[in-house]
Chains A and B, each alone.
Chain A
Amino acid sequence: MKFGIYPGCSLTGSARDYNESVFALAEAFGLEFTQVPDWNCCGATAAHNLNKELSLALPARILALAEKNGLEEIIVPCAACYSRLVVTRHELKKDPELKNRISEVIEMDYRGTSKILNVIEWIDKYITPKLDEKLVKPFNYKVACYYGCLLVRPNKVLGYDRAEDPQTMDIVMRKIGAETIDYPSKTECCGAGLSISRTDIVSKLSGKIIEDAEHRGADAIIVACPMCHSNLDMRRPDINKYWKTDFKIPVLFVTQAIGLAIGLSPEKVGLKRHFVEVKIS
C-alpha cells in the first residue's frame, strides 16, 4: 500500500537522522511513501503566536494537497507538525464558514478527508504486526520514553493516548526488548520553540527531564519529536553548562531504536549525526 508522508522542515535539516530512520524502517518493512507534493511548512509556533488565520491556512494547504493527490493517509513524524495538522482539521471541521474562508485563502478545495497518523500510530499499524519476525537484536536497555507536549496534547483534540501517563511508545519499546521506566517527566515540556530565543529556559527545562531519566537509571531517552530531540541532544552543551554537570545519556528516536533492533546499522538510522554520542548499537 502507498501512503503519504509529510516530513516537515526539521526532517530535511536538523532532524535528518529522524528522517533517515523513518525511511530505513519503511524500506525494511516493504512500505512505500509518497511525499505530499510541493509541501510547505506548517507554520509551527511562530504562525499561531503571531497570526491565527495564517496558522490554519498553512496546514490546510498541506492537507488539501494530500487530498488532491489521493493520499488517504499521511504519516507525520514530527509531533509539532502532527499537532498543527490535527488542530487545523479540527478547527475547520467545527466551523464551515472558516473552512470556506481558508479554502479561498489557499486557492484550493479543502474537505478534510485525509487521515493523519503520528509516528507511533504508523508503527502500531504497519510495523508492529511484523516486528517479531524481524527482531534480530533485542534492544536490551532501560529506557525513558519521553512524549513531550504535542504528541499527546491538546488531548481532547488529538484523542491520542493518555495525557498524563501515555503508554503507546512504552509498549512499542517493550516489544523490541527494552525495559521502560516510570518517571514523572514523561510529558513535561522541553522548552520547545524557545530554543534559540531563550536558550536559558530550554536548558533549564530540558535539563530537568534529562536529570529525571538519568537519576532513575535509564540508559537512553526515547523520543518521537524532532524538537524534543534537538533540545535534549543538540542543546546538551548548553544544558550541561546551565546545570553545571555532565549529563551523558543519549537521546534516540523511537524509529532509530526499532531500526537497531531489526539489525540496521547505526549509520543507516542516522545515529552518527547526534551530538551526544550513542554507545548503544
Chain B
Amino acid sequence: MSGKTFREKMTPYTFVLPALILLFAFSIIPIFIALIISFTGLDITGLGDLSQLHFIGLGNYKQLFQDSAFIQSILNTGYYVIIGVPLVVVLSLAAAIMINFGQNKFFKLMRLIFYTPSITNTVAVAVVWTYMYNPSTGLVNDMLSKIGIAPIGWLTDPNTAKISLIILAVWKAVGLNMLIFLAALQGVPRSLYEAAELDGANWWKQTLHITIPSLGFSIFFVTVTTLIGWFQFFDEPFVMTKGGPLNSTNSVALFVYQNGFQNSNFGYAAAGSFIMFAAIVVATMIQFKLQRKQQGK
C-alpha cells in the first residue's frame, strides 16, 4: 500500500472532485449560509452592502410563529402530508399489484400510461388542470354535470382547493412509485406463492401475507421520498392558486419563496425554510425508527 505514488493516491479524487465541488458549493455550504442568514435581517439593502447586515438572534423565528400566514402554511402542508402520502403509497401499490397481474400487451400498455404523468412538466400539467378545473368551461365540471352534480369551484373554494391540488399531485406521483413497487414485486420468489397456493391461501391472503411483507423496503423507500416531496410541495400551488384563495393552499415552500424572492426578506425566508427542514428531518427519522422496529420483529 505504501508503494503508491502521490499520483496514484490522487487519482480517486480526480474522479469524485468535480461532482463534489458542485455539491459542496450548491448544497452543503448553502445550508450553513442559510442557517447564518436566518439569524439576520438580510433584505434587499443588505444584498447590495453586506456591512448593513445585522444579527437579530432568534427574531425571525419568533416572528414566524406569530405570523398567521406562516401558521396557515404549516397547517396546509400538514394537511397535504397527511392526506397525500397515504394516498400516493396505497394507490401506487394498488396499481403495481394490478399491473403485475398480467404480462400481456394490455398490462404493459397500462404501465406506460400510468407512468406518463410522472415525466411531464409540472407547470404544463398544472396549466392543463387549471383549465380542467375551470368552474364554467372546465372538463371536470362538464363531466360531473352529465351525472347531475352541481358545479364545484375547484380552485376558488377555500375548502376544496387543497383537495384539487392533491388530486393533481397524486395523479402525477403514482407512476414513478408504481414502477418502484413493480420492480420489487418481480423480486418476490415465486416459490412463496406456490407454497401458499398449496396451503389453500386465496389471492387476498397471498397479497396480505406474502406480497406486502416482501415489499417492506420499497414501501419504506416510497413513504420517505413521498413524505419529503409533500413537505416541499411548491409547483402546483405556485402555478395554480398562488397560495390562495385566502391562503388556503399556501405551503411552507411557497411561503419561503414568496418572502424570499417576492418580498426580498431573505433572513425571514431562510428561517422559515429551516423550520421546514427540521420537520423533514424529524419525520424521516421517525420513519427510520419505525422501519427498524419492524425489521427487529
A and B part of one assembly? no
Question: What is B's interface to A at a CB cutoff of 8 Å?
Answer: none
Question: What is A's interface to B at a CB cutoff of 8 Å?
Answer: none
